[in-house]
A = this chain, B = another copy of it.
Amino acid sequence: LPGRVGLIVEYRGTRYCGWQLQPNGVSIQQLLEEAFRRMTGLKTRMQAAARTDSGVHARGQLVAFENPSRHGPERLREGLNFYLPPEVAVLEAFQVAEDFDPRRAAVGKHYRYTLLCRRAQPVFEAGLVYHCPYPLDAPAMQRAAFMAEGEHDFSAFRAADDENHTAVRRLDLCRWRAEPPRLVLEVFGRGFLKQMIRNLVGTMLQIGRRRWPAEKMAELLSSGDRRRAGPTAPASGLCLMRVFTDEESYRENLRLAAESINLPVR
């Protein structure tokens, strides 16, 4: 038997309730497990490196599962894609060690949040960005993003039902890049709290609209008070770009992303 299999999965999360199986709504996990069952007639349980929320997209989710069928990775990739809806695709499939756990194997993750800053509605990127038809103070947003970099207690930016023991996390990169008419937040880190990035973006949008000064970000990080932070930014703008299982590759991609930042921190 081929044994345990890893997958790189891409999905448009709009119509789904996130990665994890849910009593109400269809999850990406359910779609993948059902595709496997329809292909092989066998049951399996899939695990992912990141539990993306409802509506969040992924270009590089890392998934692993026990493969009780006789199909090898390549056949599985083709077969799963045949049974998956057009919003989900398996990009790669490969054998992994019997004890491979995608959550524990992940040494870092790259997330991206994309704002479309123009009056006209999104056409080509409908559902894949958050549309901001009002002017934004990008330099102030960049100062706020820079304050969130490094190690902090992110209590003010965790979801109410976040179950992690500690809210201390380290962001290795949290910086906006201008790609007119887009503003793109690149985030690299080893671990995240539930809705942490969307909550950070929600506060940065308040700062961008000049409702709050950039310094409010530092203040919120110190206070740890969720009620004083901004609203959660919409899921449509967030995408899990990549999960790294290799330290060197994480550092190299972090370096390249940092080099791509074209808005200075003034």
Q: State the A residues within 8 Å of B (CB).
A: 10-12, 57, 59, 77-78, 81, 86-91, 118-124, 126, 128
**Would you give the shortest CB distance from A119 to chain B, in whole angstroms?**
7
Whole-angstrom distance between the alpha carbons of A23 and B59 in the complex?
A: 41
Whole-angstrom distance between the alpha carbons of A128 and B128 in the complex?
A: 14
Asked if residues A91 and B118 are in contact (CB atoms below 8 Å), the reply is yes
Whole-angstrom distance between the alpha carbons of A9 and B122 in the complex?
A: 12
Asked if residues A119 and B77 are in contact (CB atoms below 8 Å), the reply is yes
Q: Which of A86, A90, A121, A128 has the most CB of B within 10 A?
A: A121
Chain B residue nearest to A57 in the complex (CB): B124
Since A10-B120, A10-B124 are in contact, a sample of 20 more A-B pairs with Cβ atoms closer than 8 Å, ordered by chain A residue number, is: A10-B123, A11-B123, A12-B123, A12-B124, A77-B119, A77-B120, A78-B119, A81-B119, A81-B120, A81-B121, A86-B121, A86-B123, A86-B126, A87-B123, A88-B123, A89-B122, A89-B123, A90-B120, A91-B118, A124-B128
Whole-angstrom distance between the alpha carbons of A124 and B81 in the complex?
A: 15
